[in-house]
Every structure is written in structure tokens, then in C-alpha cells.
Amino acid sequence: MYKIIDKKRLSTNVVQMTIEAPLIARSIKPGQFIIIMVYEKGERIPLTVVTSDKKNGLITIVFQEVGKTTKLLGKKEIGEELYAVMGPNGNPFPVRHYGNIVLVAGGVGVAEIVPIAKALKEADNYIITIVGARTKELLFFTDVLASVSDKLCVTTDDGSYGIKGLVTLPLKELLDTTHIDMILAVGPTIMMKAVSDLTKNYNVKTYVSLNPIMIDGTGMCGGCRVTVGGKTKFVCVDGPEFDGHLVDFDELMMRQKTYLEEERLALKLLEEKDA
């Protein structure tokens, strides 16, 4: 069993949790993910490890309470145990010296970008990080990203903090005024598409992390199937990072709508059953 050592709420429905998992803590690399089962007969969900403490055998995850399983996970308290934690899964991000890097994060993607940002900084890159959220209350980890970034820019849709607007606003300004060697975008699919569409015009290498579309994280369900450069890939085994200019985002978002509708229906049925 995997004991919960620490837990804190970062925003309205975003939770940070530290778990005992010594084998994973020793071997996981930035960009990889784990699979968690809250209960023996529960769903398998893929989650990104934000930090790993090799000495004490601890890993820290951040997740958003959106579906049945993440809501059940959010109800777990310090001292309780999870049924299973498996990993590392997926491929590590290609960390090396690129030069000037822009990291773009939105939503829970802010947590996913932290370990990659730290590794890229250790590889002697100049890092500019752009963080976006709908409103100030949904921001988290800005202090962490500020500590590993040479420059941090924050945007909010409603203008309650930082620049009012989308992450593409400061990104375009940077592309117009600064030499950029590589961009990584992590967050909602629509945000990653917008970033990729923008950077394609500037011919700047752009990676996107397609973690949000994974379901069971093993390649068996086929739910994370995506077309990249005209070829079929599976995010959990071939990714999760891909060249954003080669991803067929239109196809991806069309398929996501189907899954989201099924998820909403399932949650509605569960709520009616509990009532």
C-alpha cells in the first residue's frame, strides 16, 4: 500500500498530495507519469509527478477534482493509503541545452511543467515561463516557477492578476522581439493548439504534452490515440510529449468532445444513484 504523507488544497478543486513510493521516487524522470488506483476495483488514472524525493522515497502529485476517481482521491486524507501506484510510464522529456526556452502552462499543466522546468534550468537554458489561468484564485505554483525561470509572465482571462488575456498574447510579443530556440506548452488542448498554430508561423520547435487526453495510461484502451505527422500514435506509450506542429488537433478535439459527453453522462447517473 502507498501511504499519503501530506495533502494540501492549492485552489478550489486542485489538490497536492505527497505519497510514499520509494521505487518510483528513485527512477522517475521529468515528463513521465504514474498510474494510480484509489481502490482495488477502482479506475486507473494517469497523473504527473511534480517532485520526487529519492532520499525519503516520496513523490508529490497535483490533480484536479473533475471526475469520479479524482474526486474520490481528493477525499483521501493524510495517513490513509492508496491501493496502487505504478510507474514510471511514458517517455522522459528530451532535456538538453536548447538556449532560449519558453514554457507555456495553463490549468493543471502548471504542475506538469514544474519538473521539466527544473531539469531544463539545470541544463543551463534561459527560461521564460508564461502561466495562464481564468482568474487569480486558480493560480498556483507561480512562486515555484519563478524560482526556476529567468522571467515569469502571468496572464488571467479576467485581468484579476498579471496581463489580461490569453497566454498567446505575451508569447507573440516574445516571438516578435526575442530569439526563441524551443517552446513547450502544457495545459488544455485548445491552449496547446493555439500555441502550436502561433509558433508554426515563426518556425520555432514546439513541444506539447498530451497528458490530458490519457485514460488508463497503458495503451490498451486506445483512448489516447492521436494522429501525429499523419501517423497514429498513443500518448501513453509514444509520448506524452509530441511535436505540436505535427499533431492533428482538430481530430483530437473532436474525439475529446465525445469522451467529455460520456463522462458528464456517467457523473450524472452516479449523482442520481447517490441521491
Residues 6+ apart with CB under 8 A from 130: 102, 103, 104, 105, 153, 154, 155, 167, 170, 171
| pLDDT of the residue at 27 | 96
Q: Are 24 and 47 in contact (CB under 8 A)?
A: no
- pLDDT, tens digit, 9 for 90 and up, residues 103-120: 999 988 899 999 999 999
Is the alpha carbon torsion for 36, 28, 141, 95 positive or negative? negative
Residue 97 in grid coordinates:
541545452
User: Across-strand partners of 260?
Assistant: none
Residue 232 CA to residue 217 CA, distance in Å, equals: 16
Which domains does the chain show, CATH number per domain? 2-89 (2.40.30.10), 100-255 (3.40.50.80)
| pLDDT of the residue at 213 | 66
State yes or no: pLDDT of 250 exceeds 70: yes
Q: Are 76 and 38 in contact (CB under 8 A)?
A: yes
Confidence of residue 267 (pLDDT cuts 50, 70, 90): very low
Helical spans, DSSP H, in the chain: 22-27, 68-75, 109-122, 142-148, 168-177, 189-200, 235-238, 249-274
Confidence of residue 252 (pLDDT cuts 50, 70, 90): confident
State the average pLDDT for the chain.
89
Q: What is the DSSP letter of 91?
A: P
State yes or no: pLDDT of 79 exceeds 60: yes
Residue 135 in grid coordinates:
482568474
Nearest to 73 by CA among 21, 35, 38: 38
Confidence of residue 264 (pLDDT cuts 50, 70, 90): low
- pLDDT, tens digit, 9 for 90 and up, residues 20-73: 999 999 999 999 999 999 999 888 888 999 999 999 999 999 999 988 889 999
State yes or no: pLDDT of 268 exceeds 60: no
pLDDT above 90 coverage of the chain, percent:
70
- pLDDT, tens digit, 9 for 90 and up, residues 158-190: 999 999 999 999 999 999 999 999 999 999 999
| pLDDT of the residue at 254 | 81
| pLDDT of the residue at 225 | 83
Q: Are 219 and 243 in contact (CB under 8 A)?
A: no
State yes or no: pLDDT of 263 exceeds 70: no
Confidence of residue 255 (pLDDT cuts 50, 70, 90): confident
Residue 212 in grid coordinates:
490530458
Q: Which amino acid is at 166?
A: L
State yes or no: pLDDT of 203 exceeds 90: yes
Residues 6+ apart with CB under 8 A from 215: 46, 221, 223, 224, 259
| pLDDT of the residue at 266 | 47
